[in-house]
Amino acid sequence: MSTTITLKGNEIHTIGSLPSVGTTIRDFALVDSGLNVKTLENFDGKKKVFNIFPSIDTGICAASARKFNEEASNLENTVVINVSKDLPFALG
């Protein structure tokens, strides 16, 4: 099963399906750059947008995350949760 998305006018087919807007997420535990565990409860009452990328240590991913956060800062009552495979020390 795949999902078709459009990026700059080009169709891209994902591996697997993407959740629909409004889908309920299961609880999670992530570690932030301060070694604090964050769960779904930490973001109660806010809309959540997940930005998932391989590593903030790559120029492309870092630039993409900055641009994503900049664009998302205009959304009301919304938090962006950036997720990567990096160790917390790389996020500092």
Q: What CATH number is associated with residue 45? A: 3.40.30.10
Query: Rounded to the nearest 5 degrees, what angle is found at the Cα of 7, between the Cα atoms of 6 and 8?
Result: 115
Mean pLDDT of 60-69: 90
Residue 61 falls in the annotated catalytic set: yes
For the cut 70, the answer to whether the pLDDT of residue 92 exceeds it is no
Give me the domain span that covers residue 28.
Answer: 4-91
- Phi, psi (degrees; rounded to nearest 5) at 43: -120, 20
Percent of the chain with pLDDT over 70: 98
Mean pLDDT of the chain: 89
Inter-CA distances, 20 with 4, 24, 83, 88, Å:
13, 9, 19, 29
* From 61, 79, 80, 91, the catalytic residue: 61
Q: What tokens appear for 37 in the block?
A: 């565990």
- Residue 40: per-residue pLDDT: 94
pLDDT (tens digit per residue) in 34-56: 899 999 999 999 999 899 999 98
Q: What tokens appear for 79 in the block?
A: 């938090």
pTM > 0.85: no
Query: Rounded to the nearest 5 degrees, what angle is found at the Cα of 92, between the Cα atoms of 18 and 35?
Result: 75
Mean pLDDT of 78-90: 88
Domain total for the chain? Answer: 1
Q: Which ranges of 11-91 would DSSP assign to H, the alpha helix?
A: 59-72, 88-91
